[in-house]
Amino acid sequence: MRPLLLLLLVSTASLASAAEEPSIPCKVVSQGGAVRVREEPSDKGKLKGALPNGAAFTGQKSGEWYKILSGDVAPGFIFGKFVEAGAAGEPRPFLRVKANGVRIRSTPSEDGKLMGTLKKGETFIGEDVADWYEIQDGPHKGGFVASQFVEKAGE
């Protein structure tokens, strides 16, 4: 009897995972700025954070909502009307700064003009440019950070 029960449980788990939607690249689209991220796929779900317009993430359709699978707010949920699913290209990574005083440069070079600094634990969306990341969001958008000083967040 026990082997049959175990087989039934394993089969049920396999069917549940087979029914899940595939993960896809997504992008936040909003005219009003940042979009709220919830802990559950409901407007009554506890607020977990927000994503700015244009933020890219890996997502999974869940009814009218998308489950966020990458970044600092993962796992979380965002309402589908604010998501462009299957956005062209791969999602740009969420990055976390690994040290204090990391310099932001105007070009991907140590010779680039100093634009500011980042603190350990700060996060941003970045575009890979050789050994640098171009900051794609926030107040330092357009600046560059050496890749050795950041790590992919949420992995």
- pLDDT tens, position by position, 72-112: 788 899 999 988 877 554 556 678 899 999 999 999 999 99
Listed by start position, the domains of the chain span 22-85, 94-152
pLDDT at position 30 is 81
123-129 β-sheet, strand order: 114-118, 102-105, 144-146, 132-135, 123-129, 94-97, 150-152
pLDDT at position 33 is 76
Asked, as a colleague might, if the bond just before 75 is cis with ω within 30 of 0, I would say: yes
Query: Are the folds of 22-85 and 94-152 the same?
Result: yes
Which numeric CATH code is attached to 94-152?
Answer: 2.30.30.40
pLDDT at position 91 is 54
DSSP letter assigned to residue 86: T
The rounded average pLDDT for each run of 10 residues, N- to C-terminus, in the chain (155 residues) is 42 42 79 86 91 82 89 86 71 79 94 93 82 83 92 69
pLDDT at position 9 is 38
pLDDT at position 155 is 52
CATH T-level assignment (fold) for domain 22-85 = SH3 type barrels. (2.30.30)
The two structure tokens encoding residue 23: 């993960």
